[in-house]
Structure 1
Amino acid sequence: MNQMNQIHMSNALKPWALVTGAGGFIGHHLVSYLKAEGYRVRGVDIKMPEYGRTDADEFLLLDLRELKNCQACTAGMDLVYHLAADMGGIGYITASHAGIAHNNSLMNLYMLEAARGHDVGRFLFSSSACVYPHGLQTSPDVTPLREEDAFPAEPEEGYGLEKLYAEKLCQYYMEDYGLRTRVVRFHNVYGPLGTYDGGREKAPAAMCRKVACAHSPGTIEVWGDGKQSRSFMYIDDCVEGIHRIMQSDYENPLNLGTDELVNIDELADIVIAASGKTITLVHDLTKPQGVRGRNSDNTRLRTVLHWEPKLALRQGIVPTYHWIASQTAHAAPGAMVAAE
């Protein structure tokens, strides 16, 4: 057997993994991670990755709000990582309830049905900590949220509600049709190669952009009083966790995040320290700030995976800040500082 045939056979033995949302932040990184792990990867999105070239073996530009497109991209796949979603930062998700619920519900329904029709081996759904009840998130000193706390339900309007509904759909497709589903609840992912402006960016990226574009000494605007608290997970930990959850035998939703709780003022201070600038915070109490406190309880994650995200925020912010600073270097100081 010649070398070319040996290579062909080796490739043929590797399982195919589909990553939806492969043009987005987490999906782009997950494609690279799976390729490094030896998978053949098909990426699909309505757009190509904005920052950097995809490592996918195949990349399909498809609108997953149409069933035929979901059927096309799932054909021949062994694993489906369904990350595609209409989403953004707190400003976007609080102003777009109807559009988010409509778009994501169509994608989730059609992707599950297409995966079932093609007898996909496993289907992972990317859910969110936004599924948790508001009544458990009224204090910055929040008790870490356990997976079972999602019910009785009072999720984030729009985005959180459709995510919780899709989690139940995964359960029903597993119980009724035998589709092996996995559900991961993300807690605030950040890192390089992600959206950092335009209104869809998350708090760490927005904070990095604001600091990068500010004079030194200078000021930046912080939405809310700065006391609202969150935990933040670096992208490398996120994609490793996704892969571990897909490989596990655990069939119920799992938190994926760190339990390092910081408030937004502390996040700003960490970014400012990474920049080396002298920056003063100015708070805008008229802007949306989300729940008062949200943190991940990783007890079950540690039990199931014998692993949890490990990179501290102070470490992960450094490469994140410097990447965003390099992207905004052409902007005038003080520009691009409005969106959170």
Structure 2
Amino acid sequence: MAKRALVTGAGGFIGHHLVTYLKQQGYWVRGADLKRPEFTPADADEFLQVDLRRWEHCLAATKGVDEVYALAADMGGMGFISSHHAEILHNNSLINIHTLDAARENGVKRYLYTSSACIYPEFKQTETNVTPLREEDAYPAMPQDAYGWEKLVTERLCTHYREDYGIETRIVRFHNIFGPLGTWEGGREKAPAAMCRKIAIAKLTGHPEIEIWGDGLQTRSFCMIDDCVIGICKLMNSDYHEPLNLGQDRMVTIDQLADIVAHAANFKITKKHVPGPQGVRGRNSDNTRLRQVLGWEPKISLEDGLARTYKWIENQVRERIRLNGEGAFRSAS
């Protein structure tokens, strides 16, 4: 008999990809979210369009499943999470407390919570050549934003539900996941998607200048979505219950990210550095424990992942221009 799984946040980028991957592994899958996937239909056997801030909706969503993959969150890129602290802390607290408690009420056996590298202390991320972050670096706690604080508190909640109620919880800390079929405009997009959009617009309109927030020297590591969903499932099926990093451990500057995307686009750009939210100065994942625990780590190169992502976003931009003309992107940044 097929395992039955719930994926919350199934209308979002990672959740949508995870639903597809679980179906490929033979699962029966229920998706739940406020919205359906934006770019392609959901592959879920059942999709509940519900508000997971409400306890009764969480109770219905978690009924009759063996596993819960808790991805639902009110979130976005740096521009969004640095300016919507109250909204993020309020909404995500309700989503996660109600979903976890409903899963316990319904006798769910395994529960995977998707946390974030945003939980790591700001004081460990003040240099561009940052020391890769180990899981134990989370404490003493000092996340930069409300988004990170809520993620860290929910990690603790999952730990205590496992200890007190016996539900098998797993905790994964994402490091900058990217790929096709994700938000690429509107303020909630992450850096790789934003960069792909800017360069696609520059290429298709013949205006090579792109804006980059800050001096472009801030550093990150980026992990392709295909690797991410494999890592999620490997962790869920493991016996490891402490928080675990999931990301690439290759660090690049934002300027280098732009150069890699420009190469994928086969287009020469000029960079204009402008004021804007930048987040921490540097961040990278220490994958030592990931390799030890799962015997695996992400395999897809940044160049390959960005080439595939860029191609998809360029097609989105081209279609927008076809329908609305170049003026559709005049104010894009």
Q: Deviations over 1:169-221 (max 9, x none)?
A: 00010011111100000000110000000000000000000000014461000
Aligned residue number for residue 311 of structure 1:
300
Equivalent residue number for residue 103 of structure 1:
91
- Secondary structure at 1:143 match in 2: coil
Partner Cα separation in structure 1 for residue 332 and residue 208 of structure 2: 17
Q: 2: distance between equivalents of 1:223 and 1:335?
A: 22
Alignment-derived partner of residue 256 in structure 1: 246
Report the alpha carbon displacement of residue 337 of structure 1 after superposing the two structures with TM: 7.3
Change in Cα spacing, 1:76 to 1:131, as seen in structure 2 (3 Å) is same
CA distance in structure 1 between the aligned counterparts of 2:328 and 2:219, rounded to whole angstroms: 26
Instruction: Give the letter for the 2:34 counterpart.
Output: I
Amino acid at match of 2:229: V
- Per-residue deviation, 1:156: 2.2
Q: Compute the displacement of 1:119 (Å).
A: 0.9
| Aligned mate of 2:283, from 283, 288, 294 | 294
- How far, CA to CA, are the matches of 1:209 and 1:216 in structure 2? 14
Alignment of 1:232-251 (within 5 A): 232-251=222-241
Partner in structure 2 of residue 228 of structure 1: 218
Query: CA offsets per residue over residues 122-142 of structure 1, 9 Å max, x none?
Result: 000000000000000001100
**Mean CA deviation greater in 169-178 or 329-338:** 329-338
Contact 1:197 1:336 in 2 (8 A): no
Aligned residues of 1:216 and 1:279 also touching (Cα < 8 A): no
- Structure 2: stretches of 5+ with no match in the other structure: none
Q: Post-superposition shift, 1:339?
A: 6.2
Following the alignment from structure 2 to structure 1, what is the Cα–Cα distance between the partners of residues 11 and 145?
Answer: 26
Give the alignment of 1:1-340 within 5 angstroms. 13-214=1-202, 215-216=205-206, 218-284=208-274, 286-329=275-318, 330-331=320-321, 332-333=325-326, 336=329
CA distance in 1, matches of 2:244, 2:192: 23
Identity percentage of aligned residues: 61
Q: TM-score, normalised by structure 2?
A: 0.96
**Number of residues of Structure 1 aligned to a counterpart in Structure 2:** 327
One-letter amino acid of the counterpart of residue 210, structure 1: K
Q: What CA deviation, in whole Å up to 9, does each residue of 1:237-278 have, x standing for no partner?
A: 000000001001000000000001000000000000000112
Which one-letter code corresponds to 1:25 in the other structure? F
Cα deviations by residue, 1:26-75 (Å, 9 ceiling, x for unpaired): 00000000000000000000000001011100000000000000000000
- Does the 8 Å contact 1:21/1:45 carry over to 2? yes
Measured in 2, the distance between the counterparts of 1:293 and 1:188 equals: 12
The answer on whether the counterparts of 1:97 and 1:158 sit within 8 Å (CA) in structure 2 is yes
The question of whether the paired residues in 2 share the 8 Å contact of 1:31 and 1:56 is answered with yes
Retained in 2: the 8 A contact 1:133–1:154?
Answer: yes
Q: Is the 8 A contact 1:147 1:255 kept in 2?
A: yes
Structure 1 residues 320, 334: closer, same or farther in 2, change over 3 A? farther
> 2 CA distance for matches of 1:226 and 1:264?
5
How far apart in 1 are the matches of 2:196 and 2:71? 24
- Alignment partners' CA distance in 1, 2:327 and 2:263: 18
For residues 313 and 195 of structure 1, the distance between their equivalents in structure 2, rounded to whole angstroms, comes to 19
Partners of 2:68 and 2:158 lie apart in 1 by 13
Segments of 5+ residues of structure 1 without an aligned counterpart are 1-12
> After the TM superposition, which segments of 4 or more aligned residues of structure 1 sit over 2 Å from their partners?
330-340
